[in-house]
Amino acid sequence: MFCIRVYFRKKTFSKTELCREGLVDNVSVTSEGVDWITDEISHPRLFDLSENVLIKEDQIKSRFYYLLFNNKRNKNNDSGFIQYWVQQNIGLSSFHIFKSSSYSSYNNPSDCKKAKYVTLDFTNLCGLGCRIHQLIYCLQLALENERVFVLKNHHSGDPFREWLHQNMLPLSDKCSYLDSDGRSDNIECPLVQKAFTDPKWLPHALPIDMNEELLRLHEAPFVWFAGQLAAYILRPKPQLAQLINVTLKSFETSGDPVVGVHIRRTDKVDVVRI
């Protein structure tokens, strides 16, 4: 806003500077409550004001074009991210199918008598998460050594092993612990705690043959790989799978994903207090 002739400043705490004539859109200004300033005094200040307006105008334009550019760039980034996400999921899905077939081939050899084994005896009666963690580690150890992973006969009074036997598919459809019993070349899977104290029991974090590709497809590939191992161990038998599907349908959810939250209020309550 530029002053053409007479310049005045209204008496306000903000000291807002106004122009009596030459206002934008011919807006009139009342002269009440105004201190008049002569043209001689106002001209230098008018010059400063016009300079400030021009500077501010340039700043506003710069900010506008910056926001406009960023908006276009973000739209392009969103489009690129969606394409990347789709390709990533396709790649991981193909790995999922491949890994499932790999598990089956390792754990279902043509001759169980000639196969080599990793065995596990559940003598450490810990909780569900602890047991699954142990099974994941042993299966990973078996895969790295190209061996069949089997569980020894479960002890009476072991509710987890009984639950696993009743509800989950066996680790091998062909071989059992009886095929490995008494073999001197068995690898007895140690407790996972021991693996951290003895490097010989530590398998690679990822399969060597797919390490590079998984690093490209996933930001935390070991988490994904551990999930594949857990998914293989926890393959439900038909009756449990049917129950799960019926339960999911009863939720009347729309779209994916469906997330289940397990709230553990047993022994962990005392652990937290400690």
Highest mean pLDDT among 49-53, 70-74, 130-134: 130-134
Q: In this predicted structure, what is the pLDDT of residue 183?
A: 80
Of 24, 45, 62, the residue that ends a domain is 62
Task: Tell me the residue range of the domain where 196 lies.
Answer: 114-250
The amino acid at 129: G
Domain co-membership, 138 together with 224: yes
Residue 31: CB atoms within 10 Å: 11
Task: Specify the pTM.
Answer: 0.60
Query: Among all chains, which residue has been given the structure tokens 């996400």?
Result: 85
In a domain, 136, yes or no: yes
In a domain, 90, yes or no: no
Confidence of residue 18 (pLDDT cuts 50, 70, 90): very low
Domain co-membership, 168 together with 54: no
Q: In this model, does residue 181 exceed pLDDT 70?
A: yes
Domain co-membership, 20 together with 145: no
Tokens, residue 109: 């050899």
Domain co-membership, 121 together with 237: yes
Region 76-88: mean pLDDT is: 53
Q: In this predicted structure, what is the pLDDT of residue 237?
A: 95
In a domain, 101, yes or no: no
- pLDDT tens, 200-246? 888 888 887 777 777 777 778 888 888 888 988 999 999 999 998 89
Region 186-201: mean pLDDT is: 83
Give phi and psi for 73, each to the nearest 5: -65, -40
Rounded-to-integer distance, Cα 34 and Cα 48, Å: 21
Region 254-261: mean pLDDT is: 74
Q: In this predicted structure, what is the pLDDT of residue 236?
A: 93
Q: In this model, does residue 81 exceed pLDDT 70?
A: no
Domain co-membership, 128 together with 207: yes
Tokens, residue 149: 């992973």
Q: In this predicted structure, what is the pLDDT of residue 48?
A: 56
> pLDDT exceeding 90 applies to what percent of the chain?
9
In a domain, 36, yes or no: yes
In a domain, 163, yes or no: yes
Q: In this model, does residue 135 exceed pLDDT 50?
A: yes
Domain co-membership, 226 together with 127: yes
- Residues across the chain: 274
Domain co-membership, 52 together with 151: no
Rounded-to-integer distance, Cα 207 and Cα 209, Å: 6
In a domain, 105, yes or no: no
Highest mean pLDDT among 30-34, 76-80, 153-157: 153-157
Structural domain total, the chain: 2
Q: In this predicted structure, what is the pLDDT of residue 80?
A: 54
- pLDDT tens, 96-124? 645 555 666 778 888 888 889 999 887 66
Domain co-membership, 53 together with 164: no
Q: In this predicted structure, what is the pLDDT of residue 28?
A: 45
Of 30, 46, 62, the residue that ends a domain is 62
In a domain, 172, yes or no: yes
- pLDDT tens, 38-70? 444 445 555 555 556 666 666 676 666 556 555
In a domain, 273, yes or no: no
